[in-house]
Structure 1
Amino acid sequence: MQTKPRFRALDLTLIGMFAALMAIGANITSWAPFLQVAGVPLSMQPFFAILAGVLLGSRLGATSMVVYLLIGLAGAPVFAQFKAGIGVLVGSTGGFLLSYIIAAYLAGKIIEMKKDPTLPTFLIASFVGIALIYIIGTNYMFIAVNYWLEAPMSYVTAWKVMAFFGVKDVIFTIFGAFISPRIYRAVYSSPYFSNQQKSVVS
């Protein structure tokens, strides 16, 4: 009989670690102000969101993104430019915050489809993740600025704006995919994860 595993101590640690990495990735321009395009900060969040999915799996990866989002909505200044609260979610970048959950989940699912995932699988999972982030985030931004933020922008312009960030994210996506297999095998060869996989089936 297959049962849904509970969160264990290490699971919670890994979830918290990636939630913290998301907060750091959101505010990296606070320490490097030159990493901005038209006043909009570049972010390492897509990199960490996808990494969470491919390394932790769909369940833990998506949960870490949910935890990060809830921390920010609760008032902790973990969003970009140290912002917090529901206002960020309904702002122009709110779609990206939501997309991280979906991207981490689906990237993790793709990895989980293979018993022993190889580099091509990590590349596919990573690019599916970054594609989802841009499709969801950019469309949300277009809707937000045109319908409730009263800052009209054409659909083409919205994608042109995001193209500046796309170059950076493609590079980091490839980098993440190349380093992930070694980290993945090191993590899942540990006794903790070996025993966890066995405990799923009783």
Structure 2
Amino acid sequence: MKKGLKTIELTLAGMFVAMMCIGANITSIVPFMVVGGVPITLQTFFAILSGAILGSRLGAITMAVYAFVGLAGAPVFAKFGGGLSHILSPTFGFIISYIFTAYVTGKLIEMKKSLPVYITAALIGMIINYGFGTNWMYFAYKLWASAPDGFTYKLAWTWMIVPLPKDIILAVFAGLMANRLEHKVLARSQFRKIQRTA
């Protein structure tokens, strides 16, 4: 049984935590990545990619670390936010969902590393992100947050239509990218050797 993470695994996990922070605040760094007033964030993309590249276990651990770092106060969430108060945010469910997104994406790919599986796993990961995050948002508004006038379950899902095309495209791209990296680089890497002997 694996007792701890190796240096290379810790390094890759740290890289993905950093990329999640960048993905959450990409419009602050690159202002033109706002289309029709909607910011094009990359968190879902990196969450899917972490599972596809790091695997189910390390990918989920990495996303959990990202969440805990943010809750500890580091400005890694959207709008460079951080702190325990984010637990009460209606959108905090999306942050939790990244853990499950990475895990399920990685687990499906571990079964068979073919291009169709990579793309399918990435899309399923995106569905988990949307499903968990949107339902959390709905119940948050209904139970403890101040809901907008006329807020309904249907309206919560209507809000998600705007970023949906972007996330579908990025999910497919994540699958394509991870598949190519696997067969061109990762399959023969020290990182995969460590995973196979774990």
TM (norm. structure 1) is 0.90
**1:41 touches 1:80 (CA, 8 Å); kept in 2?**
no
Structure-2 change in CA distance of 1:99 and 1:192 (3 Å):
closer
Aligned to 1:173: 171
Residue 89 of structure 1: aligned partner: 87
1:109-188 aligned within 5 A:
109-114=107-112, 117-152=113-148, 153-185=151-183, 186-188=185-187
| Structure 2 match to 1:105 | 103
Question: Aligned partners of 1:23, 1:93: CA distance in 2, in Å?
Answer: 16
- Aligned counterpart, 2:56: 58
User: Is contact 2:9–2:191 with CA below 8 Å preserved after alignment?
Assistant: no
What is residue 74 of structure 2 aligned with on the other side?
76
Q: CA deviation at 1:119?
A: 0.6
In angstroms, what is the RMSD of aligned CA positions?
A: 1.7
1:43 is paired with a residue whose SS is: coil
1:31-70 correspondence to structure 2 within 5 Å: 31-36=29-34, 41-70=39-68
List structure 1 segments (4+ residues) > 4 angstroms apart after TM superposition: 36-40
* Superimposed CA distance per residue, residues 48-69 of structure 1 (whole angstroms, 9 cap, x where no aligned partner): 0000001110011011101111
Counterpart for residue 193 of structure 2: 194
Code of the aligned partner of 2:95:
L
* Structure 2 match to 1:17: 15
Counterparts of 1:146 and 1:35, CA distance in 2: 32
Indicate the SS of the match to 1:164. Answer: coil
Distance 1:28 1:93, change over 3 A: same
TM-score w.r.t. structure 2 length? 0.92
Q: What's the offset of the Cα at 1:188?
A: 2.6
Structure 2 stretches of 5 or more lacking a match?
Answer: none
- Shift in Å at residue 151 of structure 1? 1.3
| Whole-angstrom CA distance in 2 between matches of 1:151 and 1:192 | 46
Q: Which moved more, 1:174-183 or 1:96-105?
A: 174-183
Partners in 1 of 2:84 and 2:35 — Cα distance?
24
Structure-2 change in CA distance of 1:195 and 1:74 (3 Å): closer
CA distance in 2: counterparts of 1:146 and 1:38, whole angstroms? 28
Q: How many residues align?
A: 195
Q: Is the 8 A contact 1:35 1:42 kept in 2?
A: yes
SS at match of 1:84: coil
Distance change (3 Å), C-alpha of 1:126 and 1:138? same
Which stretch shows the higher mean deviation, 36-45 or 152-161? 36-45
Identity %: 45
